[in-house]
Structure 1
Amino acid sequence: MTMKNFIFLVLSVFSSVVCLGQQNHSKNTVPLKAQFITSDIPQFWAAFDSAGRAPLRSREIYDELYFNKGSYGLGIFKTAAIGTTEAFASKIEKYDKYYRSIRRNTLQVQGAIPAMRKSFQRLKELYPASVFPDVYIVMGSMGSGGRSMAEGLFIGADVNCADESSDFTNISPAFSKVLKSLTLDKMPTLVTHELIHYQQNYTDTSKNILSRAIAEGSADFVCKLITGTTANHLLHQYGKMHEKELWTQFKNELSSNDIQKWFYYPATDSRPSDLGYYIGYKITEAYYLRSKDKRKAIEEIFNISNFRSFLEKSAYGSKL
């Protein structure tokens, strides 16, 4: 997998797949009724062990013991982010050492659920109209860290359970750096980011740099209001040091549909990927701070009808 494709799918990561203007399909408005499904993780490891004993039958084994026995959410995630079972089995084989090294962490994701529920409840306080989908935490093929779709929230435990001791054999240094930043203790923040995406109801269907920056950046901003942290601290470290020059570049390109410079490009040692997230965060932050009614500001952030107008009302950049 190329770093470009990885960043496209992972959140900032973690890349969320944002469907601008998509209405929420679920009607659950009670945080405690949302389910967190983790049953696919032990199912994966049963299949992993069996495939290890019979590698020539790995595709059939993963179908039989993992995908065919999986949750409703795993089926959705397979179509959206995994692809064919053949490709899945190939990725598992390529990154075998990495998967083995994160096994224990993936089997501990239940411990992160209380913090996720706390974020759900906090969002309800900030935005009473919130809708709370089910959350599926599954094992993928290192192609998606987090997704918000009509059917729910989808989290790839394979991407979010590494640590410094994990085995990054066959994984590029840049990719390894991203994985090291997406640890199990940060999973509640990622889930919160995706939960914010689930609330977004944009009637402005623009698909340019500005719209994507605000969609992603606003999810990061409200996520910080709820959790006290953002999904990708590396972006903010860089952004704080280069904010003026980033804004100068961004404002000249914000109407462009060529988003590759700001989203999903390969990270380097000198420049992190997805800096559009940071600019969108700062625009949203400026809008929120200028608003006298903070509760109303949250509602407006979730229901943007004109991204250019939102930027103008934020007055972001005027002091740069």
Structure 2
Amino acid sequence: MKAITGLVFAMLIHGVVLAQSHTISTEDITHFWEAYDELTSAKSKADSISIIQQKYIDRATGHFKTFIRIRKFTAEEYVTLLGKYPQFWKSVRPLTENIANRKDEIEAVLQKFKNELPAFEIPDVCFAIGCLRTGGTTGDKLILIGSEIAAADKYVVKDELTPWLKSVIGNTGDIVSMVAHEAVHTRQKGRNTDLLVSVMNEGIADFVTELVSELNINTHIHNYGKAHACEIRNEFSEVIRQKSNDLKPWLYNGNSAGNRIADLGYYVGYAIAELYYNKQSDKQKALEWLLDRSKYRRIYELSGYHERCN
């Protein structure tokens, strides 16, 4: 009996260890603001670059090193951005520092995904300060968050920012929403092979995030999309018929979107996913398909999104 009890106890302990095997790290945020505070001693731009390099980049955690490699952050770029947008950085600082106090919220949404998404494994999450180019991205079982974007709210100072940054900053739905969106990307399998798959990849991440957690990082994009739904649907469907693979009009086009909102592909992919999902009687199978990029062209066909909207 004692042996059985001991075995059960060991299994329970093992289960706890497994449940806590992922990490949520904010250490790099601390390093950034320590480096930032030391900039007051800099006597030249070269001094500033050296401080950011030594006190922030050289102290990068293992996951932040991955972020640096993927996004090619440099000390010189940080110094340039700190000089261009001083009031923004001052205003966003407390929001980024407060992320350390919100790990329970993040853990809760990750556990929700584990319970509701098929074969979802909770990834590590690394919060760092980026160069105002990315709110979030993913690596192998890893979520990387650009906290200066993800944590910003509508009250941060935006007067100094570019038009695209003004449209993004404060409109990404908070850090928990960003983690949720990127969590879906860690579960999607297959390659982004063309425009259609790339658009659906992003829009499906929005759709599944909202389906599971009721969160969305792109409410402003979806509001615009819904207001111009037929126009956008017909335009995108024609582009796909012409077999165009130009991402620029639809994704990652913050500085070249012209007179309409950037990154409309997020809305298009969401709309396709929603049409498809609502038509399926087997919701679990539909969800599994939405997480498989090799199914995206078939999902597009089944959704009916390619049919002309009047």
Q: Quick check: 1:187 aligned with 2:150?
A: no
Contact 1:82 1:88 survives alignment (8 Å): no
Match of 2:275 in 1: 286
Give the partner amino acid of 1:74. Answer: F
Match of 2:194 in 1: 208
SS in 1 for 2:153: coil
Q: Following superposition of structure 1 onto structure 2, how do residues 165-244 of structure 1 map, counting pairs within 5 Å?
A: 165-182=155-172, 186-202=174-190, 205=191, 207-244=193-230
Larger % of helix: which?
2
- Report how far residue 151 of structure 1 moved: 5.6
Q: Quick check: 1:261 aligned with 2:264?
A: no
Instruction: Specify whether residues 194 and 43 from structure 1 end up closer, same or farther in structure 2 by C-alpha distance, changes over 3 A only.
Output: same
Match of 1:18 in 2: none
Match of 2:75 in 1: 85
CA distance, structure 1, for counterparts of residue 141 and residue 298 of structure 2: 31
Match of 1:45 in 2: 33
Runs of 4+ in 1 over 4 A off after TM superposition: 267-270
Contact 1:209 1:276 survives alignment (8 Å): no
1:226-280 Cα distance to aligned partner (Å, 9 max, x none):
2213211111111111111111000111231111111122376952111111111
Match of 1:11 in 2: none
Larger Rg: 2
**TM-score (structure 2 length as normaliser):** 0.86
Q: Following superposition of structure 1 onto structure 2, how do residues 126-141 of structure 1 map, counting pairs within 5 Å?
A: 126-141=116-131
- Structure 1 window deviating more from structure 2 (275-284 vs 111-120): it is 111-120
Instruction: Specify whether residues 252 and 162 from structure 1 end up closer, same or farther in structure 2 by C-alpha distance, changes over 3 A only.
Output: same
Alignment RMSD (CA, Å): 2.2
- Report how far residue 317 of structure 1 moved: 4.8
Q: Following superposition of structure 1 onto structure 2, how do residues 20-59 of structure 1 map, counting pairs within 5 Å?
A: 32-56=20-44, 57-59=47-49
Match of 1:17 in 2: none
Contact 1:112 1:187 survives alignment (8 Å): no
Q: Following superposition of structure 1 onto structure 2, how do residues 268-279 of structure 1 map, counting pairs within 5 Å?
A: 270-279=259-268
Instruction: Specify whether residues 179 and 285 from structure 1 end up closer, same or farther in structure 2 by C-alpha distance, changes over 3 A only.
Output: same
**TM-score (structure 1 length as normaliser):** 0.83
Unaligned runs of 5+ in 2: 1-17
Whose relative contact order is higher, 1 or 2, with alpha carbons under 8 Å and at least 6 apart? 1
Give the partner amino acid of 1:52. Answer: T
SS in 1 for 2:294: coil
SS in 2 for 1:148: strand
- Report how far residue 91 of structure 1 moved: 1.9
CA distance, structure 2, for counterparts of residue 188 and residue 167 of structure 1: 21
CA distance, structure 2, for counterparts of residue 228 and residue 149 of structure 1: 24
